Amino acid sequence: MRRRTVAALVTLAGILFIAGIAPPASADDAPGFATPRWSGIDARQTSAPIGSERGALIAQAQLDPTLSLPEVTDARRFLYATSRSADGPVTTSSAAVFLPTGTAPEDGWPVIAWAHGTTGLGDDCTPSALPRSERDAAYLQHWLRQGYAIVASDYAGLGTPGLMQYLGREAAARNIVDSVIAAHALGLPLAQRWAIVGQSQGAGAALSAAHVATALSAGSGLDYRGVVATGTPAYINYPIDLLGPDVPPVTLPAGLNSYVLYILAGFLDARPDIATRSALTPRAEQLIDQARILCIPEMAEITEGLDLRTLFSKPLAGVPGLPDALSDYMAIPDRGYDRPIFLGQGLLDRDVPAPLSLTLAAALAANGQPVTLNVYPTDHSGTVLTSTVDSTPWLARLMHG
């Protein structure tokens, strides 16, 4: 009965998402148009050295001062080895690290791995090569003031070879854990204690990493403590399954249209064995090609007013193996966590409607997982800073207890 209830809630949330009953949405808070600055490490064509192992540090440089944050004592950009799957080849990702002001504790600054929200799939969307958005800068500065160092992965494929697998669970998990392992080879005063904090796309990435953080960091000496996730895109695979030429004739906001195209681009890259293209129209192929290179502000401009029905020649659910493969690709686990979880959700969230995250929280609780849920009378972006009143003491107890 409990499983049927959860399934019913997920289905309802999916219908709300697709039908556009929620008010118009805007894309996650991302920087506007800017020219990337690579801080002396332009890795767009750089592969990991032969024989590199996951988490190996490849290169580092001081971060361009125009890309740093206020009140830091050190900011660097670095390149490290990672992978997108357990049996996939070693690839590269880039990241930034920020150290707070003051004297480091004897065992070093405890570490927050920051998992960023949607910026896009093209190399020009690489967070460590762009100024942080006003919201993200304020949020990261908040954690720095609490005495945490921040390690911020770009995710493999952003500013490095290949395509970033948008909302891809396994790739994001490995990219985040490996960034923290590599950061400890930078020669900076970093403690072994670490946690994960993520928003929107990054909340899904954060929970995916949290699910396997202890296992993936085994042997590294790291001490994983817990995860803070806000605006979590849970169960998004279900409404994607419903897409086809016969969905209700409702035009979604440009932000959600962009997310759909980013998901399709990432899934096509991750699972070429699934005949996804058999359900796509030429118009869809054209937009997916643009999604592979355009950042979210540009993508939102070209998808304004898009009728999703025009992307499909038949229902996605009719493609053999697609629903299960899409679930494997992006579904956030609802059991199997070994450390505490903080979920923050805005009740007015229009990018990730509240029923999705609340259903995840219910499933986690029903499965006996260590979850804490806090809801706020704000929207997708507003939840990030609003939630700090609860997430800050919650994380302090884990990191300093």
pLDDT tens for 55-81 read: 999 999 999 999 999 989 999 999 999
Nearest by Cα to 48 from 80, 78, 77: 80
**Does the pLDDT of residue 13 top 80, yes or no?**
no
How many of the other CB atoms lie within 10 Å of CB of 302?
16
**Are 70 and 136 spatial neighbours (Cβ–Cβ below 8 Å)?**
no
Locate 116 and state its tokens: 């960023």
3-class DSSP assignment, residue 112: strand
CATH of 57-234+339-400, one of 3.10.580.10, 1.10.10.1590, 3.30.70.870, 3.40.50.1820: 3.40.50.1820
Strands 149-153 and 90-100: antiparallel
The pLDDT assigned to 31 comes to 57
Distance CA 31, CA 273 (A): 35
The pLDDT assigned to 11 comes to 47
Angle at 124 between CA 345 and CA 46, to 5 degrees: 110
Mean of pLDDT values over 338-358: 93
DSSP 172-210: HHHHHHHHHHHHTTSSS-EEEEEEEEEETHHHHHHHHHH
Mean of pLDDT values over 217-242: 95
The pLDDT assigned to 227 comes to 98
Q: Strand locations in 84-180, DSSP E?
A: 90-100, 109-115, 149-153
Cα dist from 210 to 144, 201, 356, 357, whole Å? 21, 14, 19, 16
Nearest by Cα to 168 from 197, 195, 202: 202
| Conformation bin of residue 108: beta by default, left when phi > 0, alpha when psi is -120 to 50 | left
Q: How confident is the model at residue 248 (pLDDT cuts 50, 70, 90)?
A: confident
Mean of pLDDT values over 296-300: 92
The pLDDT assigned to 47 comes to 83
**Does the pLDDT of residue 305 top 80, yes or no?**
yes
* Arithmetic mean of pLDDT over the chain: 91
pLDDT in tens, 14-55: 444 444 444 444 456 655 567 999 999 999 998 888 778 999
pTM score? 0.93
pLDDT in tens, 350-371: 888 899 999 999 999 999 999 9
Q: How confident is the model at residue 254 (pLDDT cuts 50, 70, 90)?
A: low
What residue ranges do the domains of the chain occupy?
57-234+339-400, 243-329
The pLDDT assigned to 22 comes to 43
**Does the pLDDT of residue 213 top 60, yes or no?**
yes
Kindly compute the dihedral angle of the four CA atoms of residues 212, 82, 274, 337, in this order, to the nearest 10 degrees.
Answer: 10
Distance CA 355, CA 47 (A): 41
**Does the pLDDT of residue 231 top 70, yes or no?**
yes
